Amino acid sequence: MNSLDKRPLLVLALVAGLLFTLSSCSHLQAPVKPTASEGKTKVVEMAASSFEFDPNNIEANQGDLLVILVMNRSSISHNLTVKDPQGRVIQSVELPEKQTVRVQVALALAGTYEFYCNRPLHPALGMKGQILVRPNSM
């Protein structure tokens, strides 16, 4: 293999290394508990921008209905996709540029719900987070 044949592999390795480095730079913020409550309905205000959600670490209780008011501060559209603790997509909502969208997530299971923007590379660049749902104590 001559040096010209190795170029695509070198470029691929560099891109993979860059993506790994960028994804490891994203981190979870301190946990945020919902700010408002109406019975079992909990409300969190969230900002979406390139390339993060703020807050990106939310705590709630099993059985809560979580209402996330997401303000997309970016001049491009984003998305909020939520997976339950079993990895199933339970919500996927478009976030138009410069608009606020109300997203409701029923937290039926205890565990960690992952959320992210489903646009290519956005999660790798840090546009992701989690909802930690504590089990009900009976």
Closest CA relative to residue 64, chosen from 84, 40, 32, 83: 40
Query: What are 92-136's pLDDT values in tens digits?
Result: 999 999 999 999 999 999 999 999 999 999 999 999 999 999 998
Q: How many CB atoms lie within 10 A of CB 102?
A: 10
pTM of the full structure: 0.76
Q: What is the CATH number of the domain that holds 30?
A: 2.60.40.420
Query: What are 56-92's pLDDT values in tens digits?
Result: 999 999 999 999 999 999 999 999 999 999 999 999 9
Number of domains in the chain: 1
Print the SS3 string covering 17-39: HHHHHHHHHCCCCCCECCCEEEC
> Residue 76: which domain range?
3-134
